[in-house]
């Protein structure tokens, strides 16, 4: 291997090690927060929530919040309430998406889905509970009321009917009725992109970013969100169940609207690469403080699960 290839590999390995260490630190703090939030909850609901939230995962959204704050000079703890809140919303959406009435999945993060492990009613209630828990974290853990209000509003918009929920509704409609390129873009921007964008933006908000910095963080989130979902679509086609931790080929079987389904595999790969280039350019505008955002964008393009 050439020296540049070796150096690139070393940097990638260093980033992956740093990511794993950050996940471990975050997971410990997340477990502590769950203990507080679930102190008086019925045991079965608490067990279902812990099972779903603490299942091993990439923690993409909380890491985006933490590294978004880091990009504007915030410490790890500065953006922690945002990181916890977006992960709780994300986990609620996964629990509900996996239900028989939605995507009807039996495997998530390499484990039986919540409704399979427990039952449908418990899974629905666990998802219901995670939503107010997320907003409780923002309301109670952010010292400045004006910042808390801004964070709560942005997350509510990203998780609401015009974004995450609306994206899921369109996704289900496309299974029944089909769709075109415009609908595909709308689904990606709402169902996946909105929560990825708000994650990195909230990290910046809690770290006291300027309006101009917030615009750049949002643009980064939009670009990385599109790249992430396109790669996700591709992995459903070319990946395998063991690596993915969920059923491969499920999107095709259900007739879901996907990038490879409309554009083909090669064009989808190019689109993911183009979005990644844009995300890297934005991350580089934060100089060394945007290093993790830049490395993350490149890593997500090359992921296998």
Specify the pairing of strand 107-108 against strand 111-112: antiparallel
- Reduced 3-state DSSP string for the chain: CCHHHHHHHHHHHHHHHHHHHHHHHHHHHHHHHHHHHCCCCCHHHHHHHHHHHCCCCCCHHHHHHHHHHHHCCCCHHHHHHHHHHHHHHHHHHHHHHCCCCCCCCCEECCEECHHHHCCHHHHHHHHHHHHHHHHHHHHHHCCCHHHHHHHHHHHHHHHCCCCHHHHHHHHHHHHHHCCCHHHHHHHHHHHHHHHHHHHHHHHHHHCCCCHHHHHHHHHHHHHHHHHHHHHHHHHHHHCCHHHHCCCCCHHHHHCCCCHHHHHCHHHHHHHHHHHHHHHHHHHHCCHHHHHHHHHHHHHHHCCCC
HSE (side-chain half, CA atoms, 13 Å) at 86:
30
Q: What is d(CA 236, CA 248) in angstroms, rounded to the nearest whole number?
A: 5
What pLDDT shows up at residue 249?
57
What pLDDT shows up at residue 222?
95
Please tell me the pTM assigned to this model: 0.89
What pLDDT shows up at residue 172?
87
What pLDDT shows up at residue 1?
41
What pLDDT shows up at residue 122?
98
- pLDDT (tens, 9 = 90+) of the chain, 305 residues, equals 444 443 555 565 788 888 899 999 999 999 999 999 999 999 999 999 999 999 998 999 999 999 999 999 877 889 999 999 999 999 999 999 999 999 889 988 889 999 999 999 999 999 999 999 999 999 999 999 999 999 999 999 999 999 999 999 998 888 888 888 899 989 989 988 999 999 999 999 999 999 999 999 999 999 999 999 999 889 888 755 555 555 555 666 666 788 888 899 999 999 999 999 999 999 999 999 999 999 999 998 887 76
For residue 128, list its beta bridge partners. none
């Amino acid at each position: 291997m050439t020296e540049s290839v070796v150096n690139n590999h070393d940097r990638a390995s260093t980033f992956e090690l740093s990511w794993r260490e950050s996940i471990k630190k975050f997971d410990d703090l997340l477990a502590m927060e769950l203990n507080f939030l679930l102190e008086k909850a019925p045991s079965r609901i608490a067990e279902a929530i812990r099972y779903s939230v603490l299942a091993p995962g990439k923690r993409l959204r909380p890491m985006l919040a933490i590294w978004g704050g880091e990009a504007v000079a915030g410490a790890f703890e500065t953006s922690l309430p945002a990181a916890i809140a977006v992960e709780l919303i994300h986990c609620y959406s996964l629990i509900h998406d996996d239900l028989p009435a939605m995507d009807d999945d039996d495997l998530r993060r390499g484990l039986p889905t919540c409704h399979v492990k427990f039952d449908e009613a418990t899974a629905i209630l666990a998802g219901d509970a995670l939503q107010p828990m997320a907003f409780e974290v923002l309301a109670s853990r952010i010292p400045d009321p004006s910042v808390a209000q801004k964070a709560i509003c942005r997350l509510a918009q990203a998780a609401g009917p015009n974004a995450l929920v609306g994206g899921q509704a369109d996704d289900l409609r496309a299974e029944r009725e089909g769709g075109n390129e415009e609908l595909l873009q709308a689904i990606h921007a709402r169902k996946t992109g909105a929560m990825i964008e708000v994650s990195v933006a909230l990290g910046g908000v809690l770290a006291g970013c300027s309006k101009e910095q917030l615009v750049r963080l949002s643009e980064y989130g939009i670009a990385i969100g599109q790249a992430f979902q396109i790669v996700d679509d591709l992995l459903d086609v070319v990946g395998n169940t063991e690596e993915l931790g969920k059923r491969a080929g499920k999107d095709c079987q259900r007739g879901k609207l996907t990038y490879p389904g409309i554009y083909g595999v090669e064009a989808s790969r190019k689109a993911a690469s183009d979005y990644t280039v844009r995300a890297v350019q934005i991350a580089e505008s934060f100089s060394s403080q945007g290093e993790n955002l830049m490395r993350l964008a490149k890593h997500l393009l090359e992921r296998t699960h």
